[in-house]
């Protein structure tokens, strides 16, 4: 099974996870209550962090900290800033037209400035949105971005430490999972701590599986086992889920990325834009009374349909051009990985090929390393036997 170039399904999986968030928020924007799948949004965000941990470990191993952080900033910040301007200059003013009230442009400017460093310190704009379940809140998705940026810095530093290999990565994953489970079971934890340990446990699981990429099985049995374990933990109490799920969920998502034939988003990754822009648009539709007019299920469908074109515009006009700026800071070699020799080409290529599009800011030609490996090594078939492509 080849995963060189864009031949994998990870971007499609991330887009599906973004759609999960949109569906979850549809019920909340319309009613103020969770939908029939209470933890759908949480699972999706955890999946984002799991995949990101795997990709980031591979990216960091190939470049210096400065080059790495520059590329992460280019991937994260321009679309986020575009979101702030889009909300303050388009969505919020339109909402006041619907409610026949005046718009506070000074508050709109404050919304952009006060929230510009990823931390949402101003929730609404001049009392908008109003007349909705989540009044005074324009975005319920951006709360996770500071945790992701902090994970880039923390794990970027850890991956540069001598000896940070499989065992330290496993210890970090287990410690974060145990802390999350304990906090959930006891109710302890101050402010952001439970979310920090929860999301970082999935990120650490991604780092761990990157360090074990030469040993990860790709058989149908392995995928079925991971799927059974994930579904089983979802049926258990949340504390047990947090203790067991990070590695299982991460492995399942990576396995699906390697096995599924879906290539949606392989070259144009709109998942981040869908995640960012959906909730302001949902709030605007809620102000307009769309949920009550069409029903909750159709509101969820319309939320996805309205968001995708905006996310596509964000990708073409903001995200893709911004990532071309990565060349302003030349890529210098990163720390020599201490996590073992490269493994089968299928998983080695997953670390490089996916970074070529899902983490396109790495500055690495996604095909060169995999193509060279393919000429030197046999490919692993789904059944684990060596075969040449």
**What is 234-272 written as a DSSP string?**
HHS-HHHHHHHHHHHHHHHHHHHHHH----TTSSS--HH
Q: Can you give the pLDDT at residue 271?
A: 96
Percent of the chain with pLDDT over 70: 83
Contact between 18 and 274 (Cβ < 8 Å): yes
Note the pLDDT tens digit of each residue in 18-31. 999 999 999 999 99
Distance in Å from the first CA to the final CA of the chain: 7
User: Tens digits of per-residue pLDDT, 43-86?
Assistant: 999 999 999 999 999 889 889 999 999 999 999 999 999 999 99
Mean pLDDT across 327-349: 60
- Residue 337 has a pLDDT of 58
Q: What angle do CA 276, 256, 38 make, to 5 degrees?
A: 50
Long-range contacts: 377-386, Cβ < 8 Å, 24+?
Answer: 377/344, 377/345, 378/345, 379/1, 379/2, 379/344, 379/345, 379/346, 380/1, 380/218, 380/344, 380/345, 380/346, 380/347, 381/1, 382/1, 382/218, 382/219, 382/220, 382/259, 383/219, 384/217, 384/218, 384/219
Of 213, 250, 260, 220, the C-alpha closest to 12 is: 260
Q: Is 57 exposed, middle or buried (0-12, 13-18, 19+ CB in 10 A)?
A: buried
User: Is residue 228 over pLDDT 70?
Assistant: yes
Higher pLDDT, 237 or 300: 300
For the chain, counts of helices (H) and of strands (E): 16, 2
- Quick: pLDDT tens for 263-287: 888 789 999 999 999 999 999 999 9
**Rounded distance between C-alpha atoms, residue 198 and residue 183, angstroms:** 10
Per-residue pLDDT band at 362 (split at 50, 70, 90): very low
Q: pTM (2 decimals)?
A: 0.85
Query: Would you say 27 and 282 are in contact if contact means Cβ atoms under 8 Å apart?
Result: no
């Amino acid at each position: 099974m080849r995963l060189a170039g864009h031949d994998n399904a990870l971007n499609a999986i991330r887009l599906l996870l973004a759609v999960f968030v949109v569906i979850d928020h549809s019920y909340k924007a319309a009613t103020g209550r969770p939908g029939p799948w209470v933890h759908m949004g949480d699972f999706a965000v955890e999946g984002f962090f799991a995949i990101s941990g795997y990709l980031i470990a591979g990216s960091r191993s190939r470049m210096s900290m400065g080059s790495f952080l520059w590329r992460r900033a280019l991937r994260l910040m321009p679309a986020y800033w575009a979101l702030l301007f889009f909300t303050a200059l388009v969505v919020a003013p339109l909402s006041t037209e619907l409610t026949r009230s005046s718009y506070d442009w000074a508050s709109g400017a404050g919304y952009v400035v006060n929230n510009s460093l990823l931390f949402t310190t101003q929730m609404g704009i001049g009392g908008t949105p109003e007349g909705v379940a989540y009044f005074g809140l324009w975005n319920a998705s951006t709360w996770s971005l500071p945790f992701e940026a902090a994970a880039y810095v923390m794990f970027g530093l850890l991956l540069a430490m001598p000896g940070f290999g499989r065992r330290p990565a496993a210890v970090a994953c287990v410690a974060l999972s145990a802390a999350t489970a304990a906090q959930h079971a006891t109710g302890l934890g101050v402010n952001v701590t439970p979310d920090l340990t929860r999301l970082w446990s999935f990120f650490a699981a991604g780092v761990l599986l990157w360090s074990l990429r030469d040993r990860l099985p790709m058989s149908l049995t392995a995928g079925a086992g991971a799927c059974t374990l994930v579904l089983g933990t979802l049926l258990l109490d949340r504390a047990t889920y947090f203790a067991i799920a990070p590695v299982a969920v991460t492995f399942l998502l990576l396995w699906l990325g390697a096995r599924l034939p879906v290539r949606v988003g392989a070259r144009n990754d709109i998942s981040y834009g869908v995640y960012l822009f959906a909730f302001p648009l949902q709030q605007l539709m809620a102000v307009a009374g769309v949920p009550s007019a069409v029903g909750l299920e159709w509101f969820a469908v319309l939320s996805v349909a309205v968001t995708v074109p905006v996310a596509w515009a964000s990708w073409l006009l903001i995200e893709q051009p911004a990532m071309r700026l990565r060349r302003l800071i030349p890529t210098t070699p990163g720390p020599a990985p201490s996590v073992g020799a490269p493994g089968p080409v299928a998983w080695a290529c997953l670390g490089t090929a996916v970074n070529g599009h899902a983490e396109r800011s790495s500055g690495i030609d996604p095909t060169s390393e995999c193509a060279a490996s393919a000429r030197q090594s046999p490919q692993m078939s789904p059944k684990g036997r060596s075969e040449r492509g």
